[in-house]
Homo-oligomer: A and B are copies of this chain.
Amino acid sequence: MSAPSPTLHSNCSDCPIRHRAVCARCEADELAELEEIKYYRSFEAGQTIIWSGDRMNFVGSVVSGIATLAQTMEDGRTQMVGLLLPSDFVGRPGRDGAAYDVVATTDLVMCCFRKKPFEEVMVRTPHIAHRLLEMTLDELDAAREWMLVLGRKTAREKIASLLSIIARRDASLGQGKASERMVFDLPLTREAMADYLGLTLETVSRQMSALKRDGVILLEGKRHVTIPDMSRLMEEAGDDSDGGFLV
């Protein structure tokens, strides 16, 4: 159960998220300034990185691994409100308390900055503020897209939407463009999928079975998914046939 070494990637120029994280637009001198205040932290799969309501004394970027942002009601109902992938930013400059639980779903490494120094650097480094604005606008779009899924889609459409989002993300990270056939591993349990989609895990399971029965997806084991026809999946998701989400 050992987490990755916290001293990995100690040099920004070798960093795997260098070109996509909040520091993406930084020049060499700006990067050097960040480099001085950064430190790495590792988390194990299942570990809670931040508890909602906690005082946040750092912000940072996910370097590797996956985490979820979730809200929980008093009676235990939970809704995931975001997925954090490598290069995504955690924390909010200018606010002290965390608004959500952040949980590592895989082993995870974060590149952290103490909040105060980071805020100071940000004030004199427009490149950082500008990149963070861009990233936040993207997240806002994603959140609003998700509101349509939660508010208006059927269970079957919700599942198809989630699968198509994961497939599309994997495509952009790896196998070139979104082609007809896609293959990936689900990074989520059925319960986690349910928490994303505002469903119960039983409904998720039933709809996965239904999509499989109807040939929209192929399953090997519980997690390995093949999409034989991406446009069919998009149709099932209720998205425009010709692209759906804007990029």
Contact = CB atoms under 8 A, between A and B. Distances in A.
Interface string A65-83: 0000101011101110110
Contacts of A123: 126, 130
B71 A144 contact: yes
B73 A238 contact: yes
A141 interface: yes
A136 interface: yes
Among A123, A148, A240: residue with most chain B CB under 10 A: A148
Interface-central residue, A99, A129, A133, A145, by most chain B CB under 10 Å: A133
Which residue, of A71, A97, A150, has the highest number of chain B Cβ atoms within 10 A?
A150
Interface residues of A, number: 42
Contacts of A95: 137
A132 interface: yes
A139 interface: yes
Interface string A218-239: 0000000000000000000010
Contact of A78 (B77, B100, B152): B152
B238 A151 contact: no
Interface of A: 69, 71, 73-75, 77-79, 81-82, 92, 94-95, 97, 99-100, 123, 126, 129-130, 132-134, 136-137, 139-141, 143-148, 150-152, 197-198, 238, 240, 246
